[in-house]
Structure 1
Amino acid sequence: MPDRPLALRPPALVVIDVQKGFDDANFWGRRNNPECETNIAALLARWRRQGWPVVLVRHDSSTPGSPLTPGSPGHEFQEITEGPADLVVTKSVNSAFLGVPDLNTWLRGNDLSEVVICGITTNHCCETTARMAGNLGYETVFAIDATYTFGRVSPDGTEMSADLLSEVTATNLHGEFATVVHTAELLGGGVAQHPR
């Protein structure tokens, strides 16, 4: 973790769209990073043990047939998220900052100036949330190995692997919108070490 000033308050852990519907490989395709859930669970355990702020974000899909449609089994949070949360945000677009209740208002109201982002998917809702967090002036940390995504096909028909898309997200964000780190860095020192 690079040396930088620490926030006066601990960072909020923003856990994005860790929902059962993303387990549907027939709908989404092949994913990367099988360690993602283990890393998210470790981050949640650390934050809850320390009494630091946890935000859970859930996607309410309006796409017909989506496993994330409200009322469907896939809309529910995965078991690894079970436990207390300081805020639950629901959204129907990519950014957690465009959900209900308003994440920016809640963070500002609690004097929180730093966020740590993890969840699903790397290059969609996680990346979009990180970009907005950076633009809104938050010190933004992106736990790249506590996210995963799926392969996609580019407009010219080229198959883009999930690993490649994850690397592109890390490259897009790092030093511009966020500091991209690995879970071990958050658990072992740096951003998550200071007291309230």
Structure 2
Amino acid sequence: MSTALVVIDVQESFRQRESWQAASDPDVAAKVARLVAYARRSGWSVVWVLHSEPGTGTVFDPALGHVRLIDGLDAAAGEPVLTKTSHNAFTTTNLQQILTERGIRALVTCGIRTEQCVETTTRLGSDLGYDVTFVTDATATEPIAHRDAPTGRPLAEVLADPRTLLPAEIVARTEYALAGRFATVTTVEELTGS
């Protein structure tokens, strides 16, 4: 079965946010790099996806220069780099067309944020009929404030709020939601054998 590794939003934008200090794995790019190296050795396609919010003035606005792969990650010749404006990697890109043209039937997903863009892409990929593997330790996320909490609070206040959902809880919830329903959940070591 032809496989594609889809690397989602492993971009400098996140490292510009105060909340990245409390990320589940601030060095997630190192695990992603291991996966990319394994995918290339295995003859898989590698597709890179970046999230963009043009005109917003946020760290996701391409005008600020942060909508690029985290330093140390580079697309090789022939590896598409797609830019999306939705939470999943399919809706606002030609990802499905690329996968179809390459005869891809299996996806391996990783990236930032565990419960948002990576989980959403994983779910949609499964619904589109792909055999999806979610590499949980090659994802990262940040604390999520309670829905009723005021916006714009400093990170220390977000972390002190007992209603805040912490990264470990988010990762565990995502694993429960995906495993056996939308994807096989695995780790870099389990997938690569190293």
Q: What is the 5 A alignment of 1:181-196?
A: 181-188=186-193
Aligned residues: 180
Q: Contact (CA 8 Å) 2:48, 2:75: kept in 1 or not? A: no
Question: Residue deviations 1:162-188, cap 9 Å, x none?
Answer: 111111111111111111100101111
Q: What is the 5 A alignment of 1:13-162?
A: 13-26=5-18, 30-62=22-54, 64-84=56-76, 85-100=78-93, 102-157=94-149, 158-162=163-167
Letter in 1 for 2:169: L
User: For structure 1, which segment, 27-36 or 128-137, has the greater mean C-alpha deviation from structure 2 after superposition?
Assistant: 27-36
Identical positions, percent: 33
2:172 paired with 1:167: yes
Change (3 A) 1:28 1:35: closer
Change (3 A) 1:97 1:32: same
Q: Contact (CA 8 Å) 2:90, 2:96: kept in 1 or not? A: yes
TM-score by length of 2: 0.85
Question: Residue deviations 1:99-121, cap 9 Å, x none?
Answer: 32x11121112111000000111
Whole-Å Cα distance in 1 between the matches of residues 54 and 172 of structure 2?
29
Letter in 2 for 1:32: S
**CA shift at 1:20, angstroms?**
0.7
Letter in 2 for 1:95: N
TM-score by length of 1: 0.85
Structure 1 residue ranges without an equivalent (≥5): 1-6, 190-196
User: For structure 1, which segment, 127-136 or 35-44, has the greater mean C-alpha deviation from structure 2 after superposition?
Assistant: 35-44
Query: Which secondary structure does the structure 2 equivalent of 1:140 belong to?
Result: strand
Q: CA RMSD in A?
A: 1.8
Query: Which secondary structure does the structure 2 equivalent of 1:137 belong to?
Result: coil
Letter in 2 for 1:14: V
Structure 2 residue ranges without an equivalent (≥5): 150-162
**CA shift at 1:49, angstroms?**
2.9
The residue number in structure 2 matching 1:192 is none
